[in-house]
Amino acid sequence: MMTKAAFLLFRDNQGAKQLLFVRAKGREFYIFPGGKQEEGETIDEALQRELQEELGVQATEVKKLGLVSGQTPDGRDIEMHLYSGVLQGDPHPQAEIEEISWMDQEEVEKKKDLMTPMTLDHVLPFLAAQNIW
């Protein structure tokens, strides 16, 4: 099973609560910043490493929101640790990231064909059940 850390960053945009998504170069799906845990590192270390690699920032006040399990678009089992916190600086696409996009729930619904099954079937229902988004 693949283990991944995902950072859920929210902002208010004129009364609409938006969530930050990223899209990797050469990929069609929007995902959350974060990534796979590598051998020898903790999931918290993986989160910070991936935020630096993908967005050029570090996070503070990090808190774990929960854990969801599901499958990647290609059918592999995945366990996703969900975190929130505060980014130090403004996120900018780095290395493998093509685009960052802030979306409210209406925008996510319009782009659901560009969202992973993990996001649609597990993360968004988790956020709704916890009254987070």
CATH, residue 84 = 3.90.79.10
Look up the pTM and report it.
0.95
Tokens linked to 119? 């996001």
pLDDT at 95 over 90: no
Residue 32's closest CA among 17, 43, 44, 47? Answer: 47
* pLDDT grade for 4, boundaries at 50, 70 and 90: very high
- Residue 105's H or E segment, with its range, is helix 105-110
Q: What is the pLDDT of residues 39-93, one digit of tens each?
A: 999 999 999 999 999 999 999 999 999 999 999 888 999 999 999 999 999 999 9
Domain that holds residue 53: 2-129
- Dmax over Cα atoms in the chain, in whole Å? 43
As given in the structure block, the two tokens for residue 78 are 């995945």
Number of structural domains found in the chain: 1
Q: Note the pLDDT of residue 78.
A: 95
CA distance 103 to 96: 20
- For the chain, the distance separating the N- and C-terminal CA atoms, rounded to the nearest angstrom, is 27
